[in-house]
Amino acid sequence: MINIIMAKLLASQTLLKNRYKIVGPIGQGGMGAVYRAEDTLLTGRICAIKEIAPDPDMEETSRQQIQEQFRQEASVLARLDHPNLPKVSDYFTQKGREYLVMDFVPGHDLRELITHAQQDEGFLKEAQVLDWADQLCSALSYLHQQNPPILHRDIKPSNIKLTPSGLLKLVDFGLVKVLTHDEARTITVVQGRGTAAYTPLEQYGGDDTHTDTRSDIYALGATLYHLLTGKPPATARERFLEPELLAPPREINPHIRPAVEQTILAALALHPGDRIADIETFQKMLHQSAGPLNTKPFVLPARDLDDAVRSNLPLILIAFSLLAIAILLTP
């Protein structure tokens, strides 16, 4: 495993590749940082730039390995095209650091919306969360159907943005993994361990050989759990020791439909073999379990009822006449 240390942030106005002018940092982690930047060749375009900064004391062989792996992964991401994924438009190396350029996504992330809901009404509406789930399932289905499949590996509310138009974007490909038949060639240059509450047990530690598309299903289930209850689920490691730590979602939010709860819990199974098999099945189960949003019987408004009677009065009179004749003729 390649170690990546905390890098010094780039200063504002730094120009990368003689094109991208740094505005300021969006976030920073052990792998590097993400910046907001201006594209000086396309006036008015704002982009997000992800920086990977290897340990400067690293051996040259390891550094070359990082560059090769980064370029492999970047070339894969640059080919992706889906409305719920930010578009990767460029990648390059400068002064020993690797850079990935993608669309800047405006709006609030879902972690912020959970906080706002808690301050206002308590919980996000289930119908809204299920609409978001549809968009996330569409993005993950697209990733998982690539050849070879691509895992996101860090699905969580803070990595999902709601744009002003209502479109979700699954951001931060920092933990993406390309599944290959030869695990020694699996791309790991920007790989991390994810965030504990959303990370399946098989993604812990240094052994990645058992992660597959069901690892993303676990993270998606944990994300929906958080969105619907306002609380992240107990971690997989905690649950391995004490299974009862995972509170059923309806114990926290009784407005969740029972079958929606069952779908989420099935996605959160500790063993991958016990989870829902694929994203398409997960989405189908959510829809089957959701049922109609309005379960009240339809009642025609009084004014519409009067109009209906007046417009169909001749037919109603004929029907009553035939009924009366039938009664009279019955011995």
Supply the pLDDT for residue 57.
76
Question: What CA–CA distances, in Å, run from 15 to 12, 24, 179?
Answer: 9, 12, 34
| Cis before 148? omega within 30 | yes
Report which residue type is found at 66.
Answer: I
Tell me whether residue 258 is exposed, middle or buried, using C-beta atoms within 10 angstroms of its C-beta: 0 to 12, 13 to 18, 19 or more: exposed
Q: Which residue has the higher pLDDT, 179 or 212?
A: 212
What does DSSP say about strands 15-16 and 108-109: parallel, antiparallel, or unpaired?
unpaired
Residue 257 lies in a domain: yes
Q: How many CB atoms lie within 10 A of CB 24?
A: 12
Of 173, 214, 213, 221, nearest in space to 194 by CA: 173
Please report whether residue 310 resides in a domain. no
Res. 105: pLDDT tops 50: yes
Q: Which of 103, 138, 171 is the last residue of a domain?
A: 103
Residue 17: per-residue pLDDT:
97
Q: Are the beta carbons of 37 and 22 closer than 8 angstroms? A: yes
Query: Does the CA dihedral 229-231-237-242 come out positive or negative?
Result: negative
Mean pLDDT of 317-331: 54
Q: Is residue 84 part of a domain?
A: yes
Q: Are residues 51 and 170 in the same domain?
A: no
* pLDDT digits 0-9 by tens, 265-297: 999 999 999 999 999 999 999 988 555 443 333
- For this structure, is 154 an active site residue? yes
Question: Last residue of a domain, which of 73, 103, 133?
Answer: 103
Crossing angle of helices 213-229 and 258-267, rounded to 10°: 140
pLDDT level of residue 186 (50, 70, 90 thresholds): very low
Q: What radius of gyration, in Å, describes the C-alpha atoms of the chain?
A: 27
Q: Are residues 130 and 270 in the same domain?
A: yes
- Would 65 be classed as within a structural domain? yes
Buried b (16+ CB within 10 A) or exposed e, 56-83: eebeeeeeebbbebbbebbebbbebeee
Let me know whether 178 and 35 are in one domain: no
* Of 287 and 223, more confident: 223
On whether residue 324 sits in a domain, the answer given is no
Those residues whose C-beta lies under 8 Å from the C-beta of residue 196, and which sit 6 or more positions away, are 235, 236, 237
Domain assignment present for 308: no
Placement of tokens 């119908």 in the chain:
127
| pLDDT over 80 at 329, yes or no | no
At 133-176, the pLDDT tens digits run 999 999 999 999 998 899 988 899 999 999 999 999 998 755 45
105-119 burial, b for 16+ CB within 10 Å, e for fewer? Answer: bebebbbebbeebee
Same domain flag for 124 and 35: no
In terms of domains, do 261 and 157 share one?
A: yes
Query: Does residue 156 share a domain with residue 55?
Result: no
A 10 A CB-CB count for 316 gives: 12
Average pLDDT (84-112) is 93
The total number of residues shown for the chain amounts to 331
**Distance between CA atoms of 283 and 261, rounded to whole angstroms?**
13
Give yes or no: residues 196 and 221 share one domain. Answer: yes
Query: In the predicted model, what is the mean pLDDT of the chain?
Result: 82
- Assess whether 73 and 136 both reside in one domain: no
Q: Which domain holds residue 236?
A: 108-290
The confidence score (pLDDT) of residue 261 equals 96
Residue pLDDT, tens place only, 5-56:
556 899 999 999 999 999 999 988 766 789 999 999 999 999 999 998 877 7
Q: 106 φ, ψ to 5°?
A: -80, 170
How would residue 91 be classed by pLDDT, with cut points 50, 70 and 90? very high
Task: Identify whether residues 96 and 122 lie together within a single domain.
Answer: no
- Residue 181 C-beta-side C-alpha neighbours within 13 Å: 1
DSSP β-bridge partners for residue 162:
108, 168
**Domain presence at residue 301:** no
Count of structural domains within the chain: 2
User: Same domain, yes or no, for 129 and 265?
Assistant: yes
Indicate which CATH number applies to the domain containing 171: 1.10.510.10
Q: Tell me the two tokens of residue 250.
A: 């309806």
Residue 3 lies in a domain: no
Q: What is the pLDDT of residue 233?
A: 97
Helices (H), 194-301: 213-229, 236-241, 249-252, 258-267, 279-290
Same domain, 142 and 284: yes
pLDDT of residue 293: 43
**134 and 154: one domain?**
yes
Q: What is the CATH number of the domain that holds 76?
A: 3.30.200.20
Q: Which of 129-133, 304-308, 317-321 has the highest mean pLDDT?
A: 129-133
Q: Which of 39, 109, 154, 208 is catalytic?
A: 154
Residue 183, token pair as written in the block: 């695990």
> Which three-class secondary structure state does DSSP give residue 203?
helix
Last residue of a domain, one of 272, 290, 308: 290
